[in-house]
Amino acid sequence: MNEAAKTLDGWYCLHDFRTINWPAWKTLSSEERQQIVNEFVTMLEKWDVTEKAGNGSHAVYSVVGQKADIMFMLLRPTMEELNEIENAFNKTRFAEFTIPTYSYVSVVELSNYMAGDSDEDPYQNPHVRSRLYPELPKANHICFYPMDKRRDGDDNWYMLPMDSRREMMRSHGMIGRSYAGKVKQVITGSVGFDDWEWGVTLFADDILQFKKLVYEMRFDEVSARFGEFGSFYVGNILTEENLPSFFHI
């Protein structure tokens, strides 16, 4: 059998996409809308407490385009916690005004393509830990898409020897690194969990950097030959400050 990549696995991850039923939202009185927003904000404050305690992280964005209106990215130590959050959200009054459009279940993943040989336990390494259990940046923009590596005739990623895969991943990593400080990426693995093999989540203050990075990678062998991509979602951050105007009628 071919040598499988070894992975380090961190927090479990749920991406949850909803459209908002604005016509129904508009029929409410402003007092009712305010109560519903308050309940939603209370839930977000709970998430903040968890994040501050280092037990998870989250991101809330307004999605551009018709695929969704709002998205949550949630990271937690267990799948049970993600499920609890999802159920708790679905029981809020705000959820009555949302329609689920897409979701993605995965786990933060680091692979060993770039790792050196070392006897230390990577789970004890602070740099590794900060990537397995990341605090999601409060960047202006998010970009999410799921992807696979092709398994088709001669272009079968999973049949390539480890050395060839490592070489291609090195080139991939070098392009990625040239975006350091401009784009932060979180790769989550979803083999056995969802319909694609990975979720790619990118964060940037300058949204154009998503296009530049993804475009540059398309010309790099691992993406050019082996990358297969699902739908792309882009969004703008929702903060305590701009949430009221997002909900305002």
Residues with a known catalytic role: 145
For the bound state, the minimum distance from the C-beta of residue 198 to ligand 76R, rounded and expressed in Å, comes to 4
Q: Which residue is nearest to ligand 76R (CB)?
A: 176
Choice between 67 and 182, CB closer to ligand 76R:
182
Choice between 95 and 160, CB closer to ligand 76R:
160
Does residue 102 have a known ligand-binding role?
Answer: no
For the bound state, the minimum distance from the C-beta of residue 189 to ligand 76R, rounded and expressed in Å, comes to 8
* Pick from 215, 216, 220, 213: nearest CA to 172: 220
Does residue 122 have a known ligand-binding role?
Answer: no
SS3 240: coil
For the bound state, the minimum distance from the C-beta of residue 222 to ligand 76R, rounded and expressed in Å, comes to 8
Choice between 85 and 168, CB closer to ligand 76R:
168
Residue 190 burial (CB count, 10 A): 20
The span from the CA of 193 to the CA of 129, in Å, is 22
The span from the CA of 218 to the CA of 226, in Å, is 10
The span from the CA of 129 to the CA of 125, in Å, is 6
Does residue 163 have a known ligand-binding role?
Answer: no
For the bound state, the minimum distance from the C-beta of residue 182 to ligand 76R, rounded and expressed in Å, comes to 9
Torsion angles phi and psi, residue 151, rounded to 5: -130, 85
* Pick from 246, 200, 205: nearest CA to 15: 200
Choice between 227 and 235, CB closer to ligand 76R:
227
Does residue 149 have a known ligand-binding role?
Answer: yes
Does residue 131 have a known ligand-binding role?
Answer: yes
Binding site for ligand 76R (CB under 6 A): 5, 110-111, 113-114, 147, 149, 169, 172-173, 176-177, 179-180, 183, 185, 187, 198, 200, 202, 213-214, 217-218, 223, 227
CA distances, 248 to each of 2, 28, 31 (Å): 56, 11, 11
The span from the CA of 3 to the CA of 240, in Å, is 47
Binding annotation for Fe-coproporphyrin III: 131, 145-149, 172, 185, 223
Binding annotation: 131, 145-149, 172, 185, 223
